[in-house]
Structure 1
Amino acid sequence: MIRADLLIVGISELATPQGTTPRAGADLGRLSVVEDAAVACCDDKIVWVGARRDVDQAVRTDDAQTLDAGGGTVLPGFVDAHTHLPFAGWREQEFDERLRGATYSEIAARGGGILSTVERTREASREELTRSVRERLARLARLGTTTVEAKSGYGLEPEAELKQLQALRDAAADGPLDLVPTFLGAHTVPREYRQDRTAYVRLLIDTMLPQVAEAGLAEYADAFVDAHAFSLDEARQVLEAARSHGLGVRLHADQLDDDGAAALAAELGAASADHLEFSSDEGIEALARAGTCGVLLPAATFFLMSDTPPPGRRLIDAGVPVVVATDFNPGSCPCDSMTAALWFACLTARLTVDEAITAATLNAACALGRGKVTGTIEPGKRADLVVHDVPNRYHLVYRFGTPAIKHVIAAGKLID
């Protein structure tokens, strides 16, 4: 019999994608669903999944802790594949400005937006950033996120960028969440280099990337292609240099205009292209051919009050593996709830509930190089599970407004 140290019973419905590779097209919405289910875990792994009536014959549970889901629904732990966790300060005043008619681009053009967060983050100590990140990770865990990608990008100078990445490493070291760090020095051009963009690109390539890679502080590098950030050629230079240092690459693409960044992501074989609201049909088709994941950030699109919805159905119909993430940051999306991201994915990007679940779990894990480790509820995967206090998965979105998280298990540990 299989040994277990944690047994979850009382599950009205267990719903999970299956496998270790991203799902696209019609496969995106194909879930394995078990009613009146049970899950057994040992150490940090799932060891058995099936109907409650079969567990006693398959699993030795004499010494196991039993968790009663109370008729709830169990899904894989959420994998948030796009966040900006290490920052200092909030930007609620800019939110009020946008409510009064200012646009995100107008605020950025006059030195607000990202650059205002850069100032505060540069001033913060490594210890202060670590404390903030640790608090944010604890909140993410309570909201059902068990794996999270987190970017730097609010330093824009060697010392401050390293400080952000070090804070991520320090904060995650003693916690159950798996944190995937990304270097985003190419977030925007800092004020002191606005008259010499080329020099800042050289600083990224010649100084920052080698330091980050040598210290092992990031798994990926990212760049923001936008009229107020980096051109296609600048982003290509930075990301090709990142690849030469052994980093994977991702790209902020076509968020505010069709900048051709989706096609660049495909050209570079990026793990993901994120945002994509204004991507052309040609760019989306290139992503599909390259197998690059398309990361929808529908909570950000909603928060920015954009008239252009996230291109959910366009990506799915083209065969792009779709991911849903929060884009948690202090300016364009101060939302850290993956449940909320699912609401917006369904209600604004037109994903079905089952498609959104796969996009927020297995596909997101694959986009972070974690598809063999997490993202599904299957034997051998890490024991990352969430008990939602709803009778079935459809209620997650149908009764939108309040996350219904009842229990969270991350790496086999019950989160208080």
Structure 2
Amino acid sequence: MLDRVWVNASLCTMSPRDGRDGLGIIEDGAVAARDGRIAWVGARRDLPTSGAEVVDLGGAWLLPGLVDCHTHLVFAGDRAGEFERRLAGATYEEIAREGGGILSTVRLTREASEEALIEGALPRLDSLLAEGVTTVEVKSGYGLDLPTEARMLRAARALDSRRTVSVRTSLLAAHAVPPEFSGRQADYARLVAEEIVPAVARDGIADAVDAFCDTIGFTAEETRWVFDAARRARLPVKLHADQLGDTGGAELAAEYGALSADHLEHASKAGLRAMAAAGSVAVLLPGATYFIREARMPDVAAMRAAGVRMAVSTDMNPGSSPTRSLLLMANMACTLYRLTVEEALLGITRHAAAALGLQDRGALEVGMRCDLGVYRISRPAELCYWMGHNPCTGRVVAGRDA
């Protein structure tokens, strides 16, 4: 027995059908739900008769609910002052080495209560939801000590009790070296591996463990300590990799079977091939490329050649990607990185879900969670074409209006 049926819509299923494109377009289609899952999808003329509630979408386009698979949504304060400094010529790396950057946000976040972190995050989350996002990943990483990292993760977990959205959390304690460990990076990495990861795993407040392995981040050896701890805790891993230089991050992510490696502006072709073999998703973050004026772009051609799945995300954070729009990131992925419309839309749906290890969403297929985005557009390319325009007119999460 069906619960609800959506009709009079064109479907962008994100599931290839009959050899057609990867968008899986069905004109004049219908989607039916039962118990929060998709129970039927196809052409409206083939819709089975049922007593379900019928929702007429008036010719809109229906997509899977969007997935923002890489955000730093929970933090305190902002870094507008550093933005002014960069406009005057300072580099992101220079500011970080002077104690700014991540550490300036750490100071403010350590002072914030859990409720203050939640209240600060909600307006940022609301911007994503307004565009049709139904699943969002939230990282810690602005605490750099166990109490604050745990507080950030609890705040992130609480967001889905304040809004209708599915939240996944990632522990990113290995984001930077806190001031109390200045000059002792290896000691801090051991603390993350030996104390913070096990404690967070015991509390069940993280779905994955992330780390920043780069020229101003942690070494490959230090990252291995953290990832080995994640393995012992039976938590999957993700990696900020090769953003500012090729430090072998893509290869390291593949070695550990990471759900994803993110940024990848300097990743080697060998690293990308290793990721493809391991099934790790490449998460592209054009907002960061744009905002810090990074000249080097990810090697999308090499990713295609290797067969690496590409996701696209906001990287919403106060320092290098202060964006609140996943649709704008789809536009930037096309204009800056030369993704096709098909690649960009798969990147904010099916492949973004895969980057979180979620196989139950990101496409309109029978058995998937009934997470939907409703858009008043004439063709899917408009979602990547318009800048500063939001055509989303509705969201459905687990079969119910959100």
Whole-Å separation in 1 of the counterparts to 2:152 and 2:84? 28
Whole-Å separation in 1 of the counterparts to 2:375 and 2:205? 34
Question: Structure 1 residue 3 and structure 2 residue 8: aligned?
Answer: no
Where does 1:399-410 land on structure 2 (aligned, <5 Å)? Answer: 399-410=386-397
Instruction: Specify the code of the residue in structure 1 equivalent to 2:389.
Output: T
Whole-Å separation in 1 of the counterparts to 2:361 and 2:7? 21
Query: How much does 1:40 deviate?
Result: 2.0
Pick closer, same or farther for the CA change 1:281–1:61 going to 2, 3 Å.
Answer: same
Is the CA contact (8 Å cut-off) linking 2:267 and 2:298 kept in structure 1? no
Is the CA contact (8 Å cut-off) linking 2:310 and 2:351 kept in structure 1? yes
**Corresponding residue number in structure 1 for 2:336:** 348
Query: How much does 1:353 deviate?
Result: 0.7
Whole-Å separation in 1 of the counterparts to 2:296 and 2:65? 30
Question: Structure 1 residue 163 and structure 2 residue 145: aligned?
Answer: no
**Corresponding residue number in structure 1 for 2:90:** 102
**Corresponding residue number in structure 1 for 2:248:** 260
Whole-Å separation in 2 of the counterparts to 1:303 and 1:70? 38
Is the CA contact (8 Å cut-off) linking 2:29 and 2:41 kept in structure 1? yes
**Corresponding residue number in structure 1 for 2:379:** 392
Instruction: Specify the code of the residue in structure 2 equivalent to 1:121.
Output: T
Query: How much does 1:138 deviate?
Result: 3.1
Where does 1:350-389 land on structure 2 (aligned, <5 Å)? Answer: 350-371=338-359, 373-389=360-376
Where does 1:39-118 land on structure 2 (aligned, <5 Å)? Answer: 39-55=31-47, 58-61=48-51, 64-66=53-55, 68-118=56-106
Question: Structure 1 residue 208 and structure 2 residue 196: aligned?
Answer: yes
Is the CA contact (8 Å cut-off) linking 1:176 and 1:411 kept in structure 2? no
Where does 1:178-327 land on structure 2 (aligned, <5 Å)? Answer: 178-327=166-315
For structure 2, the 5+ residue unaligned runs are none
**Corresponding residue number in structure 2 for 1:37:** 29
For structure 1, the 5+ residue unaligned runs are 20-26
For residues 351-373 of structure 1, what are the alpha-carbon distances to aligned partners after superposition, in whole Å with 9 as ceiling and x for unaligned?
111111112111111221211x1
Query: How much does 1:382 deviate?
Result: 0.9
1:34 counterpart SS class: strand
For residues 105-152 of structure 1, what are the alpha-carbon distances to aligned partners after superposition, in whole Å with 9 as ceiling and x for unaligned?
111111111101001100000111122234433332222111111100
Instruction: Specify the code of the residue in structure 2 equivalent to 1:329.
Output: N
Instruction: Specify the code of the residue in structure 2 equivalent to 1:321.
Output: R
For residues 12-64 of structure 1, what are the alpha-carbon distances to aligned partners after superposition, in whole Å with 9 as ceiling and x for unaligned?
x2112239xxxxxxx99622110112222234222222222333xx04145x1
Is the CA contact (8 Å cut-off) linking 2:214 and 2:246 kept in structure 1? no
Task: Identify the range of structure 1 (273-282 vs 360-369) with the bigger mean alpha-carbon deviation.
Answer: 360-369
Whole-Å separation in 2 of the counterparts to 1:315 and 1:96? 35
Is the CA contact (8 Å cut-off) linking 1:29 and 1:352 kept in structure 2? no
For residues 49-90 of structure 1, what are the alpha-carbon distances to aligned partners after superposition, in whole Å with 9 as ceiling and x for unaligned?
2222333xx04145x152x33322211111111111110111
Instruction: Specify the code of the residue in structure 1 equivalent to 2:15.
Output: Q
Extract structure 1 runs of 4+ deviating beyond 6 A.
none
Is the CA contact (8 Å cut-off) linking 2:254 and 2:275 kept in structure 1? yes
2:331 counterpart SS class: helix
2:337 counterpart SS class: coil
Is the CA contact (8 Å cut-off) linking 1:74 and 1:385 kept in structure 2? yes
Which of 9, 14, 23 matches 2:11?
14
Whole-Å separation in 1 of the counterparts to 2:219 and 2:252? 11
Is the CA contact (8 Å cut-off) linking 1:144 and 1:338 kept in structure 2? no
**How many residues align structurally?**
400
2:134 counterpart SS class: strand
Is the CA contact (8 Å cut-off) linking 2:7 and 2:54 kept in structure 1? no
Task: Identify the range of structure 1 (135-144 vs 29-38) with the bigger mean alpha-carbon deviation.
Answer: 135-144
1:314 counterpart SS class: helix
Query: How much does 1:413 deviate?
Result: 2.2
Pick closer, same or farther for the CA change 1:28–1:110 going to 2, 3 Å.
Answer: farther
- Answer 1 or 2: higher relative contact order, Cα 8 Å, separation at least 6: 1
The two structures have a TM-score, normalised by structure 2, of 0.95
Q: CA RMSD in A?
A: 1.8
